[in-house]
Structure 1
């Protein structure tokens, strides 16, 4: 599993960057039950992504001055862990219980919120987004921030539960479709608590 984490970290560090939050928000806005909108499909994605990348000081592969390898990835991951910026949460998979992975969570919510704020500022630079009425822009911004805060809260609860229960296993249980957001397994009692 450690090798998987190193390869994943290396892949994340060396590929051209795209906003995960922007992609999820576009999908969720399209499927909104009350007010579906495709506004995030109509923006200048390259402009918004480039603006966001610059605000966050992220370099794409072509802009990197050093070729990254597994050693760099391990050092960066270790550095982030030592700063208490990231933590790992186990993810178990069903029906294949032998498959185990992990989810890296950002342990400092302020960092995630700064990313969300930068995303909103980048969207406001887009002509299509800016052409929306104030009410529409505000609704989309609030929806994006609410979704990001929801994911942050899920990560915080997972992490705090794991830290508060060192004698228990705290993990996410992933199914082919869907997941239990948190499982707390007590090996002494032989029982689980589920959250979804």
Structure 2
């Protein structure tokens, strides 16, 4: 199914296939699988009272690892697969900016927080610290200024913090089906032109 071109009619099934087909994949050195990680981020956001857009962005923030020509494992071998960009590009024809932009910015939000919050780095897992180096490390002053100009900064930080929290091997969550009807409500009308 992931070899098909995404359409408004099949995008939700394609996303669900990522959770089904790749959900058991190792999450880059963490103690949870890819599906556990994304579901935990969304479930924690829901439990913490985040907006539906933030919850859904947290759910989808790492699908770019699979909507990408570079598999997630390349991060472990020293190459940035830029999954945030592939996710946002793949999903943008189907969902509004309130979901897409926090996904696109969740890696930048990590770099931003490491730069502006002296306590944040200590909260990161070893795998997140390792990928931080590949993703550019601390931001320059110009990058911080650009990030702070984004109207999606707060949402991106919220998704980032959920990303950081969604790594508990003991936390159980609902499956993808719990979130699928909400994603359906956020689908943009019509089929995007390709």
How high is the TM-score relative to the length of structure 2? 0.29
Specify which structure has the higher proportion of helix. 2
Which structure would you say has the larger RCO, counting Cα contacts within 8 Å and 6 or more residues apart?
2
How high is the TM-score relative to the length of structure 1? 0.28
